[in-house]
């Protein structure tokens, strides 16, 4: 007997049947029970994952999900792994962090001995991302905190990435390219082929969405906690100087070693 479960991703609902009959190709079998029309998918580089997109049959809205070739693991808002009883089990935030660690971020390192690091999903066209980079990254680096940037293009990706983000990640000097882009300089292409970098951007975007992201900047702390938006203290005061940053760091407990 099959069990149905509704899983939200990208503000869309996708119906999955969590038991499958034996099939020669588990991926094809899995795609049959994903409640989507006009299904297309792309192979991702890590752990044999496929990024599947289509139109939700229930609300006629675009929707997507990720699954392994063996159809034993789904990624949506949570990571769901099929157990020996053919049931989906929720994997912890630790599993998401493990996936995050498979990507190579663009890092702005601490200027002193590193006390902590944060992971930041960013976009080159996001105003608060630019403010975060030019105002807070230097202050964080001075406080002993490294900033690891991951891509989350606000325009979305579908099956293709945002070209500017791909060009940055493909650059001979990605750190300088990202810094230049956040200061209004044009993004140039340093390598003849962007395909690998485009795939990376798609995968980073998908993973950011799996953390529950809805926009940038979004900060993922080392303990897996996600903070959306530009840092604030109090109800709505933007963090803009070292004193305010110290309050924010204390509120997030980020300066506690191992958090």
pLDDT in tens, 27-57: 565 566 556 677 666 665 555 666 666 676 7
pLDDT of residue 32: 60
What confidence tens digit (pLDDT) does each residue in 162-191 have? 678 888 988 889 999 999 999 999 877 655
The fraction of the chain above a pLDDT of 90, given in percent, is 31
pTM for this model (two decimals): 0.67
DSSP 12-67: EEEEEES-----S-HHHHHHHHS-EEEEEEEE-SSTTEEEEEEEETTT--EEEEEE
CATH code assigned to 100-252: 3.40.30.10
Contacts of 154 (CB under 8 A, 6+ apart): 123, 125, 126, 215, 216
In the chain, residues under CATH classification 3.40.30.10 are 100-252
Q: Would you say 119 and 214 are in contact if contact means Cβ atoms under 8 Å apart?
A: no
Q: Which pLDDT score, from 0 to 100, does residue 90 have?
A: 41
Can you give 210-240 as a three-state secondary structure string? HCCCCCCCEEECCCCCEEECCCEECCCEECC
Tokens of 178: 């990202």
- The string of pLDDT tens digits covering residues 96-143 is 777 788 888 999 999 999 999 999 999 988 999 999 999 999 999 999
Closest CA to 213 of 127, 152, 124: 152
pLDDT of residue 112: 94
pLDDT at 154: 79
pLDDT digits (tens, 9 = 90+) for 147-165: 999 999 877 765 444 678 8
Name the residue among 133, 132, 146, 153 with its Cα closest to residue 197: 153
């Amino acid at each position: 007997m099959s069990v149905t479960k509704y899983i939200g991703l990208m503000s869309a609902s996708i119906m999955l049947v969590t038991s499958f009959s034996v099939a020669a190709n588990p991926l094809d079998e899995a795609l049959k029970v994903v409640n989507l029309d006009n299904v297309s998918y792309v192979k991702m580089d890590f752990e044999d994952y496929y990024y599947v997109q289509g139109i939700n049959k229930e609300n006629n809205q675009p929707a997507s999900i990720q699954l392994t070739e063996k159809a034993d693991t789904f990624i949506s808002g949570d990571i769901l792994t099929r157990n020996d009883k053919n049931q989906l089990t929720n994997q912890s935030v630790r599993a998401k962090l493990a996936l995050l660690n498979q990507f190579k971020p663009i890092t702005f390192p601490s200027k002193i001995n590193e006390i902590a690091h944060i992971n930041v999903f960013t976009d080159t066209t996001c105003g608060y991302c630019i403010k975060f980079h030019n105002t807070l990254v230097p202050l964080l680096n001075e406080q002993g905190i490294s900033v690891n940037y991951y891509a989350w293009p606000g325009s979305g990706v579908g099956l293709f990435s945002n070209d500017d983000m791909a060009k940055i990640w493909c650059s001979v000097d990605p750190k300088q390219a990202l810094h230049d882009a956040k200061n209004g300089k044009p993004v140039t292409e340093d390598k003849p082929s962007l395909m690998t970098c485009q795939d990376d951007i798609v995968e980073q975007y998908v993973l950011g969405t799996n953390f529950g992201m809805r926009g940038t900047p979004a900060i993922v702390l080392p303990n897996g906690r996600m903070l959306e938006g530009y840092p604030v203290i109090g109800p709505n005061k933007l963090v803009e100087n070292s004193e305010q940053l110290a309050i924010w760091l204390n509120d997030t407990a980020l300066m506690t070693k191992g958090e």
